[in-house]
Amino acid sequence: MPYSPSDKPDQSPWDSADEHAPVHVPEPPDPSDHDAVARHWLKYVYVGDRVRQLSFRAVLTGMLIGGVMSISNLYVGLKSGWGLGVTITACIIAYAVFKLIEVVVPPLPGDEFSILENYTMSSAASAAGYMASAGLVSAIPALTLVTGRQLLWWEIMAWLAAVSFLGVFMAIPLKRQLINIDQLPFPSGIATAETLRSMHTAGRDAILKGRALAISALAGMGLAIWRDGFADFGGKWAVKDAAGKPGGFGQWLQDHAFPTEFPLLPAFFGSRAPQAAAGAKAAEVAQPALSWGQELLEKYTLGIEGSFIMIAAGAIMGIRVGCSLLLGTILYYGLIAPVLVANAIVPPGYKGIVSWTLWPATALMVTSGLLSFAFKWRTVLRAFSGLTSLGGSRSAAADPLASVEVPGWWFATGTLVSGAACVILGTVLFEIPWYMGILAVLLTFLLSIVAARATGETDITPIGAMGKITQLTFGVVAPSNPTTNLMTAAITSGAASHAADLLTDLKSGYLLGGNPRKQTISQLFGVIAGTLVCVPVYMVIADPAKLGTKELPAPAAKVWEGVAKMLSEGLDKLPAYSLQAMLVAVVIGAVLACLEEFAPRKYRWLIPSPTGLGIAGVVPAFNSISMFIGALLAWWLSKSNPKVDEQYTVPVSSGLIAGESLMGVALKLALAGPQLLKAVLGN
């Protein structure tokens, strides 16, 4: 609890010379007396009626920042399978922007950017930034991979909005139980609140972080122009001479474009000419000799990606996940893939290898995720034991927080409308029987309760496990229908993601004394912004011909596709020897989950991450190697200069990711030209 004793019991913690420096207040009462705790918070912490919070500039800024960062999350999610947090980064960006504006145009007295505006803005930004996790990097591209169907823009917008609003409204009754009564930590919520406090009491630190983020974003943009802009526009502008040989400025650009991948081994390590297959014509083998490094890159994708994105993502993920990715890469691409290619089980190249490694990688992640979830059975029981208190049966007169908390009718009306929208859209768009849609919404409510409590206790939202539970459920209910399997699970995972996100933001608001009604409204605006921005971008970059290739691996979608296919087609359709590999992976996943749960805490950093090991099997090797390099660099910096690491690692990494991904998307949009409207409309 953020309170400390004081001899000023009648003062708000914000009534001081510095509006951002709370004064000391009395210790809170016995936690078991919930009404007394509520009155104490209302008197000594709550300032939502006196400090500006839900302002037009805060909501608009949050929508703009969140919309931009949702593009980064979408791009990175389709490339790496990871979703990157946006809340703290958005706080830093907004604070730095407003402070720079105040330097140019000094604000009127009392018109300064308040800490509650900053937190409201971050709530809208996080809701927009997490739109990709509502299905754009998993269920929707998986549907394309399984059925070949590419949804129209309005179909995706309607679906994502319904699922995301459902998650926001489902979080409303959970807030009281998990935050006010149970006082769950929600570590990211605490971190956001502390970041906001530190920025608003020592603004120079935030300005420096914002400057580092901006400079790194420019570097990321420059690399994207050098690599993608030179190659794409060079090819478009290249001209051929009379002999048919390309030349001109366009060809110069192509020749000087930054490489998309680099071999692990330099050319002087030796080379050999490609071997001719039996019966091949001489013209077919008259190719230049490949260096060992180039052969490893072309056959097994063993190399380093010419991108800042994966290196920066690895820096944020941490050394444990980075090492796990490297270990998985060695296993899948260094040991297993050569055996598979040599025995003609799969063809060389990413697409051939991943068609086999996908199965053990998926089995490992699903097993470890579900078992880790099962180990939290006490959390599950606590989640469901709180169901009786969610109805808010007391009258408003007897409730100290009745005028502050989100009223129950918001939950009832919002859940009914958004849940009905999910059922109707599921029937119209995906031919899901209405009763299965209702079952999916009811299951989503129960699993969202569990996911929210898990987030509050561990800071980990088990979105993958929630989706897989729904997939397995509908694998029994509708065993031969992969579309139903995927899209019902999309309801669960998308809604659970947004419910957990809102509760994390509400934890920050609880610590800062904000108004939960106003924050819920800002969250809804964030969902709108994310939907409007993310879907058109998805329509352009998620080319069905590129999904599942080394250019756009879509690892999360590959996992969803694998589970749906296995449940609908049966185990006999699996590639040769992949079933045996899956059984081994199940054992490994179970062992790792047990070690994570029961090993002494001081040794857990030595246990490979099951998620890292699994993701390594569904992305190209050069992605995992690049992420390992980033994790290694961040780890080295944290050991050699912890202060610099704490100050700059996250802002610089976030800037590199945002700059390169946004410029990459902008170049694709510019290159699309007249074809853009056609692509968006699906004609």
Whole-number Å distance between alpha carbons of 522 and 532 = 16
H/E/C letters for each residue in 182-211?
CCCCCHHHHHHHHHHHHHHHCHHHHHHHHH
Whether residue 261 is predicted with pLDDT greater than 50 in this model: the reply is yes
Tell me the residue type at 457.
Answer: E
**Residue range of the domain that includes 374:** 56-221+358-391+407-681
Structural domains in the chain (count) = 1
Q: Are 175 and 507 in contact (CB under 8 A)?
A: no
pLDDT digits 0-9 by tens, 423-476: 999 999 999 999 999 999 998 887 787 778 767 766 666 676 667 778 878 877
Whether residue 2 is predicted with pLDDT greater than 60 in this model: the reply is no
> For position 333, what pLDDT does the model report?
93
Residue 263, in any domain of the structure: no
Whole-number Å distance between alpha carbons of 481 and 139 = 14
Whether residue 384 is predicted with pLDDT greater than 60 in this model: the reply is no
Residue 29, in any domain of the structure: no
Q: Is 584 helix (H, G, I), strand (E, B) or coil?
A: helix
Please choose, from the candidates 51, 594, 72, the residue with its C-alpha nearest in 3D space to the C-alpha of residue 374.
594
pLDDT digits 0-9 by tens, 131-190: 877 788 888 999 999 998 989 999 999 999 999 999 999 888 888 878 887 787 786 788
Q: Beta partners for 290?
A: 272
Q: Is 559 helix (H, G, I), strand (E, B) or coil?
A: helix
Residue 230, in any domain of the structure: no
State the chain's maximal CA–CA distance in angstroms: 93
Residue 610, in any domain of the structure: yes
Cα radius of gyration (the chain): 26
List the structure tokens of 588.
Answer: 């490994």
Residue 288, in any domain of the structure: no
> For position 12, what pLDDT does the model report?
38
Cα 322-325-326 angle, rounded to 5 deg: 90
List the structure tokens of 506.
Answer: 């509400």
> Which of 88-97, 351-360, 528-537 reaches the highest mean pLDDT?
528-537
Whole-number Å distance between alpha carbons of 558 and 562 = 6
H/E/C letters for each residue in 352-363?
HHHHHHHHHHHH
pLDDT digits 0-9 by tens, 593-650: 899 888 887 887 888 988 788 888 888 899 899 989 999 999 999 999 998 888 888 8
Whole-number Å distance between alpha carbons of 641 and 639 = 6
Residue 281, in any domain of the structure: no
Residue 544, in any domain of the structure: yes
Whole-number Å distance between alpha carbons of 348 and 346 = 7
Of 197-206, 515-524, 620-629, the range with the lowest mean pLDDT is 197-206
Residue 338, in any domain of the structure: no
